[in-house]
A and B are shown apart, each in its own frame.
Chain A
Amino acid sequence: MQKKFGGSTIMLDRSDINTDEIIPAKYLTEVTKEALKPYMLEDLNLEGFDPQDEKVKSCSVIVSRENFGCGSSREHAPWVFEVNDVHTIIAESYARIFRQNMFNCGMLAIELPKGQIDKLFALGATGDVTLEVDVEAQQLTATAGSQQENFTFEISPFDKALVKAGGWVEFADARY
């Protein structure tokens, strides 16, 4: 089953945000995804960022810079997003394992070139951003107040199939 994408957006203006920052190792002793919920981005090293802030707690989309999700292979990183209903990440680039884990969970790790990410950050500077995602048409619409920006993104046919199937287990189980 395809997940819901888009919604209220937070901006994390830093490159190389790693999996230890997204979900610290001390929580890896949990054996359910739900148990991770309170700890999203707990150790993020970013000035002014408060993981307990209501906007963070209620966001559905994260926009960031290069090499998002680098470090450990822990799928706890996508899971902590998943259980917080953050199903869409938009960044300039990703670490391979994190990116694959997102699509394997049927979630979106969208890549946009730096210039377009800059535009999203500029829009974010004017007010709260809401993002709409059309997976089929590969279109994004970002709205802040009366301003709107449109973007086209690329995902591979395989990634799209994973998103539609709801993840890699569903896809692989039907096929192999």
Chain B
Amino acid sequence: MGQTTAEKIFAAHLRDEPFPGAKVLDLDRVLCHEITTPVAIADLEWRGKDRVFDNTKIKAVIDHVTPSKDSKTALQAKILRDWAKRHDLADFFDVGRNGVCNALFPEKGYIRPGFTVIMGDSHTCTHGAFGAFAAGVGTTDLEVGILKGVCAFREPKSIRVNLTGSLPPGVFAKDVILFVIGELGVNGATDRVIEFHGPVVNALSMDQRMTLCNMAIEAGGTCGICQPDMTTVDYLWPFIQDEYADKQSALTDFSRWCADEDADYDKVFDLDVSDLEPMVTYDYKPDCVKKVQEMAGTRVDQVYIGSCTNGRIEDLREAAAVLKGRKLADSVRGIVSPATPQIFTQAMSEGLMQVFMDAGFCVTNPTCGACLGMSNGVLAEGEVCAATTNRNFNGRMGKGGMVHLMSPATAAASGVAGVITDAREMMKDTAA
């Protein structure tokens, strides 16, 4: 019997099986941010075990509320900063160099196919885009990860999602994953890995693969996984060129993590995306998904373009393509938050920031910001946000606010119209 990608990674990292089915894995990466790590640090200190298992495998960033907004968030940042310094972490990212964790760490080349990765962040599943097993964990798992370099899991079964056909213009990875979550339901993939396959995924850039994997958790999934291929090698090449003679040998090495053809799946889900339409969520659960057309006309007070789902350069390009030569409706506030400094710089050099500012957007520094309602862009009661983020829970962006999840193109078009709008109509006008 063949193996799934997750099964191969589990087999290669198994440290211990204290009880049947409880797999304790060696970790390649333990990633940290300032919201979930400080309590782990405090607990380690309290236990007299303020140590780290390997300061080259632990990476840390201040990203959720940055620059700090008040004394409490300043204290969280300080705890992480002091700890990183104390343990001589080479890769710690503070104000000015920081970005959203799930965008920054891949961009730095820290994630490789076959890696085991944990972070105290549910969207750690994003890193599965590289063919890694990457799981969000709580602070206790993080604490043990920091101290011992291990984490325990039940070996997850995998759901295979085959994406065939080709994406029509104006339909993006975000629409695909929203549709898939709508089909699977918010707990349809609990204790499962979602393995993405097929020509559609093969044709996606790493940015879009990350969008796809980012939302695996919204279906309950432990991780989303794409198969490593030449696109993965190309993305990682600047970081790995000293390790491999050429790209082909890197590809050969990475390919050992690809699932076997005869691997056993819990479920196989085939989706021909050729007729897929832009999608949007309604209500407070990410599986409440409709076609944008069905929600067209819904009032929008704020547009938020950013987050670890859709704050990458391709997302900004996608939104700017709609916004070029247009302005936000008078009734709409627009916020764009490039996910990392590198993305910010790139967007500036491409003139995208000018497009956003001409359209009337407020440009923020790289941060989680409005995504979890902890800083820039919190909604007032009764307000509605068209957001490129990943979570529409009640209160997520501010008590009593409503968040509709959508692609950057749809968010941009909705901002211009002041109501939820299918971007393809505007793109048609632009083309004409």
Contact = CB atoms under 8 A, between A and B. Distances in A.
A20 B122 contact: no
B373 A75 contact: no
B336 to A, nearest CB: 21
Interface stretch (A49-57, A64-72, A119-127, A136-144): A64-72
Contact of B76 (A16, A29, A66, A71): A29
B240 interface: no
Interface in B118-170: 120-122, 124, 136-141, 143-144, 147-148, 150, 152
A101 B138 contact: yes
B346 interface: no
Contact of A43 (B138, B148, B394): B394
Interface string B228-259: 00000000000000000000000000000000
A94 to B, nearest CB: 8
Contacts of A16: 186-187, 285
Contact of B72 (A24, A29, A71, A175): A29
Given A67-B186, A158-B152, A176-B15, A73 B144 contact: no
Interface magnitude class on chain A = 35 or more
A73 B136 contact: yes
Contact of A20 (B75, B120, B137, B396): B396
B19 A158 contact: yes
Nearest to A102: B138
Taking each of A25, A94, A175, which has the highest tally of chain B beta carbons within 10 Å of its own beta carbon? A25
Interface in B318-342: none
Interface of A: 16, 18, 20-21, 24-26, 28-33, 43, 45, 66-67, 70-75, 78-79, 93-98, 100-101, 104-105, 156-158, 161, 167-169, 172-173, 175-176
Nearest to B187: A67
B21 A156 contact: yes
A25 B137 contact: no
A32 B24 CA distance: 28
B44 to A, nearest CB: 9
B393 A73 contact: no
A73 B36 contact: yes
A67 B15 contact: no
A75 to B, nearest CB: 4
The 8 closest A-B pairs by CB, nearest first: A101-B138, A75-B138, A158-B22, A104-B140, A29-B72, A75-B139, A67-B187, A73-B136
A50 B373 CA distance: 23
B306 interface: no
B43 A156 contact: no
B15 A96 contact: no
Contacts of B49: 173
B258 to A, nearest CB: 25
Taking each of B16, B65, B147, B190, which has the highest tally of chain A beta carbons within 10 Å of its own beta carbon? B190
Contacts of A31: 38-39, 42, 72, 75-76, 79
Given A20-B393, A172-B148, A156 B284 contact: no
Contact of B18 (A78, A104, A169, A175): A175
A45 B186 CA distance: 17
Contacts, number: 148
B222 interface: yes
A71 B399 contact: no
Contact of B391 (A71, A79, A94, A98): A71
11 contacts: A25-B372, A31-B76, A31-B79, A32-B42, A74-B36, A74-B138, A94-B190, A95-B190, A168-B152, A169-B47, A172-B150
B220 interface: yes
Contacts of A45: 284, 394
Given A93-B190, A100-B138, A169 B43 contact: yes
A87 to B, nearest CB: 15
Nearest to B121: A73
Nearest to B395: A43
Given A26-B374, A70-B187, A71-B393, 7 more contacts: A25-B374, A67-B187, A73-B122, A96-B222, A100-B138, A157-B20, A169-B47
B16 to A, nearest CB: 7
A163 B391 CA distance: 32
Contacts of A75: 36, 39, 120, 138-140
Contact of B140 (A72, A95, A98, A167): A167
B41 to A, nearest CB: 9
B73 interface: yes
Nearest to A176: B148
B35 interface: yes
Given A18-B393, A31-B39, A67-B220, A73 B150 contact: no
A100 B118 CA distance: 14
Contacts of A175: 16, 18
Interface in B32-67: 35-36, 38-39, 42-43, 47, 49, 64-65
B21 A73 contact: no
